[in-house]
Chains A and B, each alone.
Chain A
């Protein structure tokens, strides 16, 4: 079989999936821009929160899903950005620009420190180190009263007047999250994104191929930290408040849960997972006051029975459907394998 034929077949198979994906994306975008005119402020706020959570979850999934390095302390980065904004807004008379600047600087600084600490580790050790990192940010948040206000948090954070209403802020969040998602989309398709996937599969092999995996992991931390910082800044202006509950370990575990629930190692997975978790949390909390248990049990359930998440389940059925029509990946692989190169040569 020649290369042209096989490439042609691959191209024929792609459009079906790609067309469906594009159609769904278009519908989602239309809905995203139209529904705020119909929804209540309450729902609007919830969706904004889901969008911001989605960005945060995607930044965590860049590490957990693509590189296979699960961080359970990423709320430390998110929270540093939040506290950076909050400190300027609440303790000084710095304007919006300075708030953004300090927020960014704090988030990036946290990423650098976290990255330097964790870049030489992997597997379980990596998880433990990141937990400790996140917890220590929490510890500082509760103890540095003069800077963080401890349990009382930092009040007095205000959005700029132009985007003061929930309605307008929704569009700010939507656009920032969309642009960031495109950014993440580019990252995972870039050479670095590919290298991260290699890291997930085998770090030793990566080193043998000439990749400096330590540097790669630092780079990953910076990229992920950059998007987590953006999420943190969006979140602090959404809540107009920050306190230590924003950096407890549950806040770090949530994006991991969102990623696995939606489908780890994809970008759309964390997005869907974030919406599911945010809405679940809100409606469950209305009924019973046991969110922590629900979250813990969801974690256990997902880890035991649904590690591929919603996207994984959808993909499986979609490919099965395509295969039944003779154009799925298994069918394609079968035709390619029909002439194994070893025998044909």
Chain B
């Protein structure tokens, strides 16, 4: 690399960093007064409880959004069936746990069954319309209706929760007077684990490089000795696996019921719209932001809790149409 190119690279990195710093400053400028106001509304203890609530819900959203965003980054497919995958995965997990009595088996079963479904969807359905953005999206939304109706037929319309193992039940004590559900902390830990794993793949492996390049150049990819079709299928199955698993995880602290597929899809969409489609950091940032907004809104202005999602999304879209960390199109 020539000296000029190195210098140019620095300039670009600088401009990205400057851009990120600007995002951070604006976020803080909005967040700090909001936090101050919130603190006048509730006790410090309640405040921290809500922070943890927000982060653990954000963790669940990150499971969904990361898979969604990864599939989009790699294949340019916006898989709306992700919500359906979540719901059905959760139901499968609940049934498996009921039968075997093992939470972990339920988790695995939820992921695996949905992976198989993902394999079918990618190989049999989506492959026929590869590269056609809009038909792909419409197909996945049709699929969500079918999955939702199938789940209703099999598991019925009542809210369902999963039986948690003993060691994840009850509350964890911090200090003298602060108690917090163990299960939610477990979800948070799991998300950090998955996040680190995904960031490792994204940054350090060939597949990550392909995902970040957005597969602009298939020939180069082929020349690297990578079977791109296999990578696509693999990524789709992996995304489906996380979605199915996250349904089981979600069944531990939220309820599963018909319609929840679209609700969770909405949250996941807001996460990727705010964070920026196709960006893993965007999914992480968006998940934290949406999780926190939702937790505090539910505590303070429950009737408006959907609107509180709408407003920041609207503002962000007007200022940054590609999301906070999205690439310019």
Within 8 A of B (CB), among A47-102: 68, 70, 72
B145 and A70 within 8 A (CB): no
Residues of B within 8 A of A300 (CB): 125, 139, 142-143, 146
Within 8 A of B (CB), among A206-255: 248-250, 253
B54 to chain A, nearest CB (A): 18
Residues of A within 8 A of B129 (CB): 303-304
Q: Assess A128 versus B277: contact at CB under 8 Å? Given A70-B138, A140-B306.
A: yes
Q: Is the interface of A mostly helix, strand, loop or mixed?
A: helix
A299 and B141 within 8 A (CB): yes
Q: In the complex, which residue of chain B has the Cβ closest to the Cβ of A293?
A: B149
Q: In the complex, which residue of chain B has the Cβ closest to the Cβ of A124?
A: B78
Q: In the complex, which residue of chain B has the Cβ closest to the Cβ of A297?
A: B146
With beta carbons under 8 angstroms apart, the residue of A124, A132, A140, A248 that contacts B137 is A124
Within 8 A of A (CB), among B294-329: 302-307, 309-310, 313-314, 317-318, 321-322
B153 within 8 A of A: yes
Binds B, one of A21-29, A112-120, A268-276, A327-335: A112-120
Q: Is the interface of B mostly helix, strand, loop or mixed?
A: helix
B303 and A144 within 8 A (CB): yes
Whole-angstrom distance between the alpha carbons of A304 and B304 in the complex?
39
A264 to chain B, nearest CB (A): 10
B142 and A129 within 8 A (CB): no
B80 within 8 A of A: yes
Residues of B within 8 A of A283 (CB): none
B272 and A303 within 8 A (CB): no
A136 and B321 within 8 A (CB): no
A260 within 8 A of B: yes
B98 within 8 A of A: no
B327 to chain A, nearest CB (A): 11
With beta carbons under 8 angstroms apart, the residue of A124, A128, A145, A248 that contacts B262 is A248
B135 and A303 within 8 A (CB): yes
Residues of B within 8 A of A125 (CB): 273, 277, 321-322
B269 within 8 A of A: yes
Residues of B within 8 A of A72 (CB): 141
Q: In the complex, which residue of chain B has the Cβ closest to the Cβ of A118?
A: B317
B145 and A292 within 8 A (CB): yes
Give the most central of B137, B145, B269: most A CB within 10 Å: B145
Whole-angstrom distance between the alpha carbons of A298 and B146 in the complex?
10
A257 to chain B, nearest CB (A): 8
Q: Assess A132 versus B146: contact at CB under 8 Å? Given A117-B318, A127-B78, A307-B135.
A: no
Q: In the complex, which residue of chain A has the Cβ closest to the Cβ of B134?
A: A70
Residues of B within 8 A of A133 (CB): 310
Whole-angstrom distance between the alpha carbons of A205 and B305 in the complex?
41
A249 and B262 within 8 A (CB): yes
Whole-angstrom distance between the alpha carbons of A50 and B44 in the complex?
56
B150 within 8 A of A: yes
A135 within 8 A of B: yes
A298 and B148 within 8 A (CB): no
With beta carbons under 8 angstroms apart, the residue of A127, A132, A248, A295 that contacts B270 is A132
With beta carbons under 8 angstroms apart, the residue of B137, B145, B309, B317 that contacts A120 is B317
A131 and B269 within 8 A (CB): yes
A143 and B304 within 8 A (CB): yes
A250 and B145 within 8 A (CB): yes
Residues of A within 8 A of B266 (CB): 131-132, 135-136, 139
Whole-angstrom distance between the alpha carbons of A120 and B149 in the complex?
35
Whole-angstrom distance between the alpha carbons of A296 and B270 in the complex?
23
B149 and A127 within 8 A (CB): no
A79 to chain B, nearest CB (A): 13
Whole-angstrom distance between the alpha carbons of A140 and B308 in the complex?
10
In the A-B complex, the 3 residue pairs with the smallest Cβ-Cβ separation, listed nearest first, are: A299-B142, A139-B306, A296-B145
Given A125-B321, A135-B265, A139-B306; 17 other pairs, CB 8 A cutoff:
A116-B318, A117-B313, A123-B133, A124-B133, A128-B272, A131-B80, A131-B266, A132-B310, A135-B269, A143-B304, A290-B149, A295-B142, A297-B142, A299-B145, A300-B143, A303-B129, A304-B129
A-B contact pairs, 5 of them (CB 8 A): A143-B302, A144-B304, A292-B152, A293-B145, A298-B142
